[in-house]
Structure 1
């Protein structure tokens, strides 16, 4: 954390995994994530995905920085798991894949994944390792301005396992979408799973193996 102290309260440019560039004021740094204000939102970015940080060459006025009360925490205890826990039930935007952001809310946090409810994708299992950032909504607006009756409090009755690989075994035989279907072959029937790979059957009946460590998100369409 000491290496980030130089940049606290400065306008910085951060490259996040996947060649994502974000700019804003660096507000806080915790054990495994930092908080950036980009003029509109707070971005909670895990340090795991930060490629580099530098002082921004584009000096902008961000005005008055709003309160962080949406996700209250003790500054000396700021961590990804504490932020995720505080965010349960709050509408957020999460970035997992390079091409997709998901809007919804966190329902449950397990050892190496969390359960996310999206009005579009419904119940999703998100790998903690691949979460690039989280942005809490700062207003009472709901995703897509949907009414609350379309955003269930308990969206799934599927029992949860502590780890993602064990949870995936509960989806055997189901049609699933992996990593938001960023590749067509990542959509198929989950046929089997071992400690390292998921075996899918594609729409044409072909077999494809997907490495578990590259699994970012999965849901049943």
Structure 2
């Protein structure tokens, strides 16, 4: 087994007043040559945006982008005329492909919004841009693993142009969850949203993360009630 530990307090941090952003991987002014990516997982930003503020229109291309709102609501607009609001328990995916221009603003004028924006390196470049969004029942991840992104286009989940799975879980203290690789060459990256768990002897606390590759199985031991996001991706060079 190979593993990498990313503690919450080692992440990059930017405070722009209206935006507070933590970067798990190198992004913007945060650069660490040892934290460029974990396999196809390129960006994991933990953003908090003040009411009435947001990101103006900006371009993306050749990246698979996942937005998960943890608290509040985020308004999305793009150059195709699409307009959506992403709320807690919603997941939105965007295949930037040949190029998109979009904006993201806090849908509230007063309350903060906290969301994760995650970039996945695509298996195929220059695809036709596409968006999708789905609301997932939080009850389905109570002491269970809820798959919200899957390569299986027939599954009750969203899909990306990559062999990647996103799984949410919310577990009571004392529970143990066994995880295994989804396929050969796939690694698993666990980002702890809240609580405390132990993975392969490593104790993780809120916003800590662990990446596992070249493993057969691992146990997530829940020490304190915990919520986490598990991202399975090909281990690219």
| Common fold: TM-score over 0.5 | no
Q: Which has the higher contact order (CA 8 A, sep 6+)?
A: 2
Which is greater in Rg? 1
Higher strand share: 2
Q: TM-score, normalised by structure 1?
A: 0.31
Q: Which has the higher helix share?
A: 1
TM-score of the two chains, using structure 2 as the length reference: 0.30
